[in-house]
Structure 1
Amino acid sequence: MPALQQLLAAGAVVDTWLALLTGPWRREMPLRLRHSRFLVVLYAASGLADANGRIPDAPDGSPPLTARLARSCGTRPETVARILAAAAKAGALTERAPGRYALTTTAVPDWTAALAHLDQG
C-alpha cells in the first residue's frame, strides 16, 4: 500500500500542473499567449510528462521532443522550441538539460518574461 500512495503522490505533479494551467495561470496569462499556440504546446507537453512531471527523452531513432510536439500541435519544431524556452523563462517549465524539460508548479509564473522571449525571435 505505501508504494501505491507514493505512486499517486508522484502523479499529482501533472494533475496539479494542469489544474494551474487551466485555472489561475490561464486567467493571469496575457491574451497574446492564450490566443496563440502557446497553450496548445503546453497541453501537448503535459501529455508526454511522466508521473513526476519530467518530459522524457525520445527513444533512440524517434524524433526529438520538438518534432513530436510540432507534429501534434500543427506547427514547426522551431516554434515549439521557442515556446518551450518561453515557458521555461516564465517558470512554468524547467529545462533540466538542453532540450529536456520538466513541469514546474510555481505559484506565479512570469508571463511577461515569456512574452518578451517570444518577441525576441
Structure 2
Amino acid sequence: MSSHPLDESASAAPDEAVEGGREAGTTASGASDSDGSLEEQLARLLAVLVDPSAASGLSLARVSKRSGLPMSTLRRLLTVLADADLATWTLEESGRGSACLTPAGRAAIGNVPGHDTSSPI
C-alpha cells in the first residue's frame, strides 16, 4: 500500500520544528531570537535615529548597520513608528531608502523620563 505524497510532507523533520505556528528560533514578530526583544530592537533603532547626524535622514542601509538590525526588522519597526507619526521613511523602486524621526518623534524621545536630551538613547 503506497502513501499519499501529502502524508510524507505532513511530518516535519526535527530541524524544521515549529513553535506556536512559527519557525523555531524566531519571535512572534518574525525576528530571530538573537536580534533581541522588541524593546531592545526599538531602543537600538531609536538610538540611531535620535543622533543629531540623522536629523535630515539616514539611508536604510546605514540605519541597519548602525543599529545591527536586519533590513526586514528595520522596515517593520519603521512602519510602526511611521504609523504613530514618530518617524518617516521612504523606499525607492531601486531598493534604496532613508529614514528619520519626525519632530513629534524627537519630542516624544525627549519626554522619556530619565532621558538625557543631549545624548543618544
Tell me if TM exceeds 0.5.
Answer: no
- Which structure is richer in relative contact order (CA contacts within 8 A, separation 6 or more)? 1
Structure label with greater radius of gyration: 2
- TM-score normalized by structure 2? 0.42
- TM-score normalized by structure 1? 0.42
Q: Which structure shows the higher helix fraction?
A: 1
Q: Which structure shows the higher strand fraction?
A: 2
